[in-house]
Structure formats: C-alpha cells, structure tokens
Structure 1
Amino acid sequence: MTARLISSPAVLLDLVGETLGTSGWFPVAQSTVDGFAQVTHDHQWIHQSGPAADAGPFGGPVAHGFLTLSLLIPMLDGIFRVDGVSAVVNKGVDRLRFTTPVPAGGRIRATAALASARSRPRNFTETVLSVRVDVEGKPKPAYTVDVLMLYQGVATAAER
C-alpha cells in the first residue's frame, strides 16, 4: 500500500472533510506487548501470556491501550505523507476512547479523516485528524481519537 502524497502543508487546507485513507494491517505481537510492559513497568496480568490471561475476561492476553495508541504514528505514515515540510510536531490528542481490546497476536489498522486545518504563524499548518483504529475481525474499533498535528512548511526564499 502506498501512502497518499500531499505536496505541501498548505494543500491540507483544501482537504478538510476528506478521508485521507486507511493503513495496512499492523501486527501487535506478544513480544511487542512484553516489550511495552518492560518499558512502562505495566506488568498487569491481562497483558502477559499464560493461564491467568487465558482464564480472564478477554480469553487471552491483550495489548495495552497506550501501546496501540503509540502505534498510530507508523499507521498514519502508511496513510499519507506531507512533502515540503521542515518539521512535524505532535501537539497531542483529544477525545481518546478505547472501546475494544486488541488481542496479543492480533492486527490493527487506522483510517484517518482530516477534520480541520488552519494556517498558523511561522508557516505552520495546524490539523486535527479524526482517526478510527480497527481490530481485525471485530465490529467495534480498538479506539477512536482526534490527533492534533503541526506541519511547518519549508520557507521560500522570499519568506527567509
């Protein structure tokens, strides 16, 4: 799958309301869950492979919600790319809701729509991406979130 190419941050202003695309499926291996637990010191039994998780409410180990959120950036990179930028800054998230657990060994994918875009000082374009992350084989998403990003356009000779 090839990411959609957007020629400059200014073009984002014309794409408001459009679905930018859907990423390919992204695997969430148990080894990734274990590594995230190690880094974050979150070793709750529902994330660990073994009899406790197997007998638990999800029938096996599940990924940490914040692990699946951290995988959003590579999924967005698979959806679109903005050329003509000198910097991309993640401003944060709004309206994050985890709705379906992601089983360890499962796969997720993101669909992103451009909810808003506006010009900001210093050649920045501020965007809000409305994102739904689906779990393969599940009717409800793993989560929905609005992602706030800043794209700084490369200054032209006249702007420097």
Structure 2
Amino acid sequence: MRTLDNIEQLQALAGEEIGASDWLTIDQQRVDGFADATDDHQWIHVDVERAKRESPFGGPIAHGFLTLSLLPPLVNDIYRVEGVSTRVNYGLNKVRFMAPVPVGHRVRARVRLKSVDERGEGRYMICNEVTIELEDSDKPACIAESLLLYIL
C-alpha cells in the first residue's frame, strides 16, 4: 500500500497511475453471498451445474455489481492519505463491464487518479479511474470512474 502524508501529495499525483491492489479470488461462496444480499439469484451466477451445461461462459460468473462492489476494498488496498478523517463514496461518473468474471478467477484494481478538487472546509472530491483487471485476460472486467469525498 502506498501511504501519502497529506492531501497535497495526492493532488501532485493527478493524472498518474497510483498503483494496483493485490489479487482477489472470486469464489462461489462470495457469489452466493452477494446473491443472497441482493436477491439476485439468476442461475448464471448461482447454479453451478446448469451454468456448466448452458452458460456461454462454461460455468458460473460473478454478478457485474459484485465486481463493482469490490472497488472500495481494492482501492483501499492501493493507497491511503494521512490526515483524512472520513472517506465517503460519492458515486460513479461512468461504469462499463467489459468482460465476465468466471468464478474461481482472480481480479485486482488498478487506479489512475484523474483529479483532486477542493470543495471547501477541508473537503476534497477525488476522481479515480479504476480498472478491475481479470488475471490472464487481455480485457478488463470493469472500468469505472469513481468519486470519493475526503473530509480532513
């Protein structure tokens, strides 16, 4: 993990790649838990035998929104800024799911800092371009422009 001493050090990195997270294996237990949490039990995600027989992907795949939900923990694995008391998920400008994530495969996040905009009173809007890479694939699983509000 990369540790920055203050928000000014983060601002100096605008436009640059900050780094990549560790790899995370997407197992069936995680997919089933996400299905339970979201009431999305589509067979392509949770019925392993049917997915092996009928899915064009040869087996079950992770929900796209499961992949998206991994942004906070994966990005938190990449960098942190000292002196920030609170980080608030502010939303997304753009999200694209480029490739399915087969269960049993590994993903990681790669972050490019797009901008750090001052919002007054010790508040900063952080815009990260986050690419969720799929191990052994030329295509990323997801690319998202993520917004975080940092409060000092």
> Residue 95 of structure 2 contacts residue 143 of structure 2 at CA under 8 Å; is this kept in 1?
yes
Corresponding position of 1:20:
18
Task: Write the distance in 2 (CA, Å) between the matches of 1:122 and 1:105.
Answer: 45
Q: Distance in 2 between matches of 1:91 and 1:51?
A: 39
Q: Which residue of 2 aligns with 1:129?
A: 128
Q: Give the letter aligned to residue 42 of structure 1.
A: D
2:112 match: secondary structure: strand
Amino acid aligned to 2:135: E
Given that residues 30 and 49 in structure 1 are in contact (C-alpha distance below 8 angstroms), is that contact kept between their aligned partners in structure 2? Answer: no
Moved over 4 A (4+): none
Cα deviation, residue 51, structure 1: 2.5
Q: CA RMSD in A?
A: 1.0
Separation in structure 2 between the aligned mates of residue 79 and residue 12 of structure 1, nearest angstrom: 13
Report the Cα offset of residue 85 of structure 1.
Answer: 1.1
Normalised to the residue count of structure 2, the TM-score between the two structures is: 0.95
Q: Distance in 2 between matches of 1:75 and 1:114?
A: 14
Cα deviations by residue, 1:87-130 (Å, 9 ceiling, x for unpaired): 11110011100010001111101100100111111101111001
Q: What's the CA shift string for 1:11-48, capped at 9, x where partnerless?
A: 22211011110111011110000010011110101002
C-alpha separation between the residues in 2 aligned to 1:95 and 1:72? Answer: 13
Determine the C-alpha separation between the residues in 1 that align with 2:63 and 2:96.
Answer: 13
SS at 1:141's partner residue? coil
Contact 2:97 2:142 in 1 (8 A): yes
Structure 1 CA distance, aligned partners of 2:99 and 2:74? 18
> For the residues of structure 1 that align with 2:4 and 2:10, how far apart are their CA atoms?
8
Amino acid of the structure 2 residue aligned with 1:17: G
Equivalent residue pairs, number: 151
Which whole-Å CA distance do the structure 1 matches of 2:92 and 2:107 have between them?
Answer: 19
Distance 2:102 2:131 in 1: 17
Number of the residue aligned with 1:48 = 46
C-alpha distance in structure 1 between counterparts of 2:88 and 2:13, whole Å? 19
Checking the alignment, whether the CA contact within 8 Å between 2:115 and 2:127 is kept in structure 1 is: yes
- Structure 1 counterpart of 2:34: 36
The residue aligned with 1:157 is none
| 2:145 aligned residue | 146
Partner of 2:113: 114
Bigger radius of gyration, 1 or 2?
Answer: 1
| Secondary structure of the structure 1 residue equivalent to 2:77 | helix
The equivalent of 1:81 in structure 2 is: 80
Question: Is the 1:9–1:151 contact (alpha carbons within 8 Å) kept by the matching residues of 2?
Answer: no
